[in-house]
Amino acid sequence: MIVKIPATSANLGPGFDCLGLALQLYNSIKIDINRPFQISLTGTYQEGISTDESNLVWQTMCRLWEQLNYPIPTVALTLENHIPPARGLGSSSAAIVGGLVAANILAGAPLAKLELLQMANALEGHPDNVTPALYGGITLAVSTDDGVQPRVLGQGANLKAVVLIPNLRLKTEKARGILPPEVSRQDAVFNISHAGLLIDAFIREDYPLLKEGMRDMLHQNQRSVLIPGMFETLKAAEQAGAYGTALSGSGPTLIALIPESSKNEVCQSMLTMIKQFGVEAQAIILDIDHCGAVSSGE
């Protein structure tokens, strides 16, 4: 069996810890049952990923089986990683969601997707990456007394993303640690209204609204000190034709949502600008993923 999980971009500007979208860039987990325990790595990113029992995918699978009282099977895993780790593209969410989806299928699929979302949220700590990783598309995750309620807002028809991935790692814990514990009423109102505008833009596919809709006052200003040239690079993307721009998750990746026609100009202008700040980076043009995590071959 193979489970394929998309990269994700969380926050999308004002939607701190609740908005996100899935991208057509994937990690996959291949599971061979009744083999001696082994974890092998392939793909673009292998460095720093453990291949013993502390591996996040394996740990997550074991958590689900323990919760179900299902005997832990002996399996060999092959992890093919194309989502860069610690860059703000949801690599740990992909590991958690992929582990849960795979373990659930191996146990006979007793849990519904919504139940997997609750577990993924509890393991990850915030729902804005795990929701699009499970459901695909552009998503809103609403934390309620009954758990996380997922809403798929749209599929981003005719929308593409440029992700500019700086050659620096930034752990979410560090990027959260610099945020103040309290926000002003003025900033809260700013973000509530802008998140509303952003949701309206996605539902109506009215993308010129993204420019204003993706503005934020809750986290991007503080985090810009960790990413040289962040605002200048986002601005360069808008001047080159992007609809709207944001820090991807907690960074350091920057995301520009664009019409197909501006993809080359946006890539080039972002790369040129961030380079002026001494940052090496890679730009990738991606489509929105519509499916979320999928399995095949079971």
Please name which of 144, 139, 142, 99 lies closest in space to residue 119, comparing C-alpha atoms: 99
Helix-strand-coil split of the chain, %, nearest 5? 40, 25, 35
State which of positions 180-209 bind ligand HSE (CB under 6 A). none
Q: Is 204 marked as binding a ligand? A: no
- We find the least distance from the C-beta atom of residue 249 to ligand HSE, in angstroms, to be 4
Residue 217: how many other CB atoms lie within 10 Å = 18
DSSP assigned state of 139: E
Contact 131, 148 (CB under 8 A): yes
DSSP assigned state of 170: -
Q: Work out which of 12, 111, 128, 233 binds ligand HSE, going by CB under 6 A.
A: 128
Compare residues 104 and 250 and give the one whose CB is closer to ligand HSE: 250
DSSP-assigned beta bridge partners for residue 123: none
| Interface with ligand HSE, residue 162, by CB under 6 A | no
- We find the least distance from the C-beta atom of residue 107 to ligand HSE, in angstroms, to be 27
Contact 286, 24 (CB under 8 A): yes
Classify 143 as helix, strand or coil.
Answer: strand
Q: Work out which of 10, 86, 164, 279 binds ligand HSE, going by CB under 6 A.
A: 10
| Interface with ligand HSE, residue 17, by CB under 6 A | yes
Q: Is 85 marked as binding a ligand? A: yes
Q: What are the structure tokens assigned to 92, written together?
A: 């740990």
- We find the least distance from the C-beta atom of residue 250 to ligand HSE, in angstroms, to be 4
- We find the least distance from the C-beta atom of residue 255 to ligand HSE, in angstroms, to be 13
| Interface with ligand HSE, residue 126, by CB under 6 A | yes
Q: For residues 145 and 158, what is the distance between their CA atoms, to the nearest angstrom?
A: 36
State which of positions 238-267 bind ligand HSE (CB under 6 A). 249-250
* Binding site per annotation, positions: 84-94
- Contacting positions for ligand HSE (CB under 6 A): 10-11, 16-17, 126, 128-129, 172, 175-176, 219, 249-250
